[in-house]
A and B are shown apart, each in its own frame.
Chain A
């Protein structure tokens, strides 16, 4: 029995061979039925010609060889480049080292690598989605990947994320993820194909599927049996291994709890990938039940059981856990002490911020010599450059770290844009009109993160704008004008026209998008409004107009 984590034996799984046998049997039945279906069709003809013979040993042998050949081809084609094709399907991207949370993700990966004895070589990727899930994939070439959604990355604490990554690392190290990945890819292509067919037939109102899809349908039903191979136990084992690595059962329990209470990606993570995930993205009726039938037909154990086991490891009462979980997140305290120098500063949105002590003021990232400062020592507001202490500090700061300005100009007012930190990533802001130019890949990240709470003003504004846009959109639809994208600003980068559309059908916030450069322009407050709408789940309601 291995004592430490690093010498867990990689079980060279016999199950991969089992999968192959399953594949052969499946193809054998399909080919067999097709062959005899066809021969049945021709029976009258063959009877007349005297050619008919029943299923002979020879024909069965030929069919067997044929199915062996097809199975081998299938196995070969679907086991090459599995990981990259799965990741393409999910549009996963490597983490951005300039982004605060992504850097934390990279750091945690490095930590877990240390904890597991520097054995695992794993790539890490981020899935740009608001859902909360994590998955690991590993193919026969040994290309291992751990992917985490933006939603999970932004809503878990550091310790919880550590536990989740340790869990996924165990899947890769123990090798159980390899057979799961292979199983996914072996049958995934049929599932995708079948779903496309169904969509296609729905569109044309042709009713149900044509009978020619019967073999395909059989394949699909057979592949559903695949979940029998994937045991529920492996999730329990990975949870336990995560505890062994991080020695923190509570964080794992909390992470699972959060996962169970949020959207885990049903509809986004395509069918066939659920068994790679940490929790099942598509909820099923058997998920939270036990017994041999549920064990056989599902891929994940009940989350309540998993949390229960973890809490037992931490020796914590489930009721206390529930109570404590609601208490997490108290009010924040400020370090302001009366009697000291206190200043307020006017920010780029023309709002007074503060109170700050001098030491705090000079570290404000948006402070520049032109910022208006009012303080308890001077009656009038003055420019920051007129206060000696602030000027000295700013001089020092600019000498050490010149501000990152951009060569791009604002699409609305043609002023140079400035790079600003926004929700732990960066965006380009126009100081003049307050608009933001955001790389499309960062929009999901910004929306997923909730470090900056939305103010009441933004919320009220968002509701008003939403109602207004809803009315306008409805009017347009009534007039049969259809969806239109209107030409607006010119792109800062390529000087082509940007298109003005709504962010989505539900969140009617106007944005300007350059389809060539992949930039989106938000006028002042628009990005905050969008964040606010999505965070508070405010959608347009038909009844309100």
Chain B
């Protein structure tokens, strides 16, 4: 009789240890995701601060390209005002594409390309764009990681008991960075 009790106690202790381990693992994963999200935020702020400088630096030389500026400024305002994740992802995507339009236009002005200040600002913005993309890539990877942690059996029992909620991906577009056909333009596919 006593042996049975001991076995039962041992079994319960084992379950508790396992639950504790899974719980801690999930908390760690969740914090990683949160941390990655705050990184995206930092980089987005950096971009919002840089855009007005670049626009001011090139505006004088590019009077005919008003629409490009307006697009960038409007996209920036929209992105800063966005609150929901999906809304924000969409606004950021349009800001990125309008900035790419601006870079493209700048390329056409040799005088601007030889201007130290403009080149500096452009480099900073390109770098920020990359940092945002990388931060987003990291965030999505971590969300995928966390979601797997939530959904595998039997960890999902702990996850649902303690109400761990899944995070949304930043956008589907970020995942496509892994295979971007534009990047390989000019190459023939192997298959």
Contacts and interface: CB of A to CB of B under 8 A. Distances in A.
Interface of A: 3-7, 100, 103-104, 107-108, 110-112, 114-115, 117-118, 158, 162, 245, 247-248, 250, 312, 314-317, 320-321, 324, 327, 332-335, 356, 359-365, 393, 401, 421
The 8 residue pairs across chains A and B that have the minimum distance between CB atoms: A360-B111, A107-B127, A115-B134, A4-B141, A359-B61, A363-B111, A114-B134, A335-B108
29 contacts: A3-B148, A4-B138, A104-B123, A107-B123, A108-B127, A110-B131, A111-B127, A111-B131, A117-B32, A117-B36, A118-B39, A248-B183, A312-B190, A316-B184, A316-B188, A316-B190, A317-B187, A317-B188, A320-B187, A334-B110, A335-B108, A335-B109, A356-B111, A359-B61, A359-B109, A360-B61, A360-B110, A363-B115, A421-B116
B84 interface: no
Interface of B: 32, 36, 39, 43, 60-63, 108-112, 114-120, 123-124, 126-127, 130-131, 134-135, 137-138, 141-142, 144-145, 148, 177-178, 180, 183-184, 186-191
Given A315-B190, A334-B110, A359 B60 contact: yes
Contacts of B130: 108, 111, 162
Contact of A111 (B32, B36, B134): B134
A364 B114 contact: yes
Contacts of B63: 359
Contacts of A360: 61, 109-112
A103 B120 contact: yes
Contacts of B190: 312, 315-317
Contacts of B180: 247
Nearest to A396: B60
A456 B138 CA distance: 50
Contact of A103 (B115, B123, B148, B184): B123
B131 A3 contact: no
Contact of A158 (B115, B126, B138, B145): B126
Contacts of B61: 359-360, 362-363
Contacts of B138: 4-6, 114-115, 117
B34 to A, nearest CB: 13
B141 A5 contact: yes
A118 B131 CA distance: 11
A115 B36 CA distance: 10
Contacts of B109: 335, 359-360
Contacts of B134: 111-112, 114-115, 245
A324 B141 contact: no
Given A356-B111, A365-B115, A314 B184 contact: yes
Contact of A250 (B36, B111, B117, B184): B184
A412 B81 CA distance: 59
A324 B184 CA distance: 11
A294 B142 CA distance: 39
Contacts of B120: 100, 103
Contacts of A421: 116
Contacts of A327: 186
A320 B185 CA distance: 12
Contacts of A332: 110
A247 B178 contact: yes
Which of the listed residues B114, B115, B119, B187 has the most CB atoms from chain A within 10 Å of its own CB? B187
Nearest to B40: A114
A104 B119 CA distance: 11
Contacts of A114: 39, 43, 131, 134-135, 138
A104 B191 CA distance: 36
Contacts of B184: 250, 314, 316
A360 B60 CA distance: 10
Contacts of A162: 130
B63 to A, nearest CB: 7
A117 B116 CA distance: 32
